[in-house]
Amino acid sequence: MFKIWNQLTKPRVTVLVLATVFPGLYLGSTEKPGLTITLWTLFGTYLMSSASFILNQYIEREKDSVMYRTKMRPIPSGVISPRLSLALGIFTMALAFLVLWYFVNLLTAFAAWSALLLYVFLYTIWLKPRTEQNIVIGGISGCIGPLIGYAASSNSLPMSAWMLFLMIFLWTPAHFWALAIFLKNDYEFAGIPMMPVVSGVDKTVKQIFFYTLAYSASVIGFYFIEPRMGALYLGFASILTVSILFFALKLLKSKEPTLAKQYFFFTIMHLFLVSCAIVVDARL
């Protein structure tokens, strides 16, 4: 049962979502966030993120059944029925909202719920099957982690919260398009209009480089927006920025699918390390 839950909820992706909550938790208050509020915020966010992935797999069960990467997921493989997975997704969503509302605050609950609604309805149902720009707009759902953190610790959403939102918004297209290059044949076979399928790899790597530039600018720009960031963050962010730009430039020149896969995983580590740098500097 635990294995099925993990396959439905994509825990490795959820870990990154939780990592983006921490900067908001620490920056939303002048004091270190309490252990209780932190644990309830993370638990509620984990449940909401899990619910969104369950509902995503329910909606995409037919397309998942024809893609090599996804055909052995619990729903297309018949391990769990579509009706049961839908009920599980709705129950988990409701539980997450109640946990965040009761133990944290209503703004936090609505912030987390909005991420689910955007992911399920805006991205999965509307944009993903229709346009190669699906992840640009649909990726908004993955940007809400910092807003959840700020809402939990301060019950407000200040400018610096939205700067972190923008940072993840600019990170998302390059991250997903790199994976789409590696999985181009799978997406093409399933009829999903990801950019490498519709416009080719050449245009995709150029777009990846453009968004990497914009994301890097936002990482450095956060130092100037958030007064609590100091030399430690600026130095660490500068090193990370140079490294990801070098990687994106290398991908722009080579256009190799294997390098695109490596870039995909590198972007995960990059955003995680940027989040860690913000938290560490905020605590000093």
The residue among 198, 196, 145 whose CA lies nearest residue 168 is 145
Closest CA to 9 of 119, 108, 128: 119
Q: Is the pLDDT of residue 137 over 80?
A: no
Are 167 and 272 a contacting pair, CB within 8 Å? no
Number of other residues whose CB lies within 10 A of the CB of residue 232: 12
Reported as a pLDDT band with limits 50, 70 and 90, residue 56 is very high
Structure tokens at 94: 């409701």
Amino acid at 195: M
Q: Is the pLDDT of residue 271 over 90?
A: yes
Q: Which of 136, 184, 175, 144 is nearest to 162 (CA)?
A: 144
Chain centroid to CA 141: how far? 7
Going by the DSSP 8-state scheme, the letter that residue 142 receives in this structure is: G
For 79, counting Cβ atoms within 10 Å of its Cβ (0-12 exposed, 13-18 middle, 19+ buried), the class is: middle
Interval 8-33: pLDDT, tens = 888 888 898 999 999 999 998 878 88
Quote the pTM value: 0.91
Compute the average pLDDT of residues 249-262. Answer: 95
Which amino acid would we find at residue 208? I
Which region among 63-72, 215-224, 243-252, 269-278 has the lowest average model confidence (pLDDT)? 63-72
| 81 Cβ contact list (under 8 Å, min separation 6) | 75
Residue 217, pLDDT score:
97
Confidence at 109, pLDDT banded by 50, 70, 90: very high
69 has pLDDT over 80: no
C-beta of residue 89 within 8 angstroms of C-beta of residue 55 = yes
Buried b (16+ CB within 10 A) or exposed e, 38-56: bebbbbbbbbbbbbbbbbb
Confidence band, pLDDT 50/70/90 cuts, at residue 47: very high
Residue 229: phi, psi to the nearest 5? Answer: -85, 135
Whether residue 154 contacts residue 191, with contact meaning beta carbons closer than 8 Å, is answered with: no
- The C-alpha torsion from 154 through 155 and 158 to 162, rounded to 10°, is 110
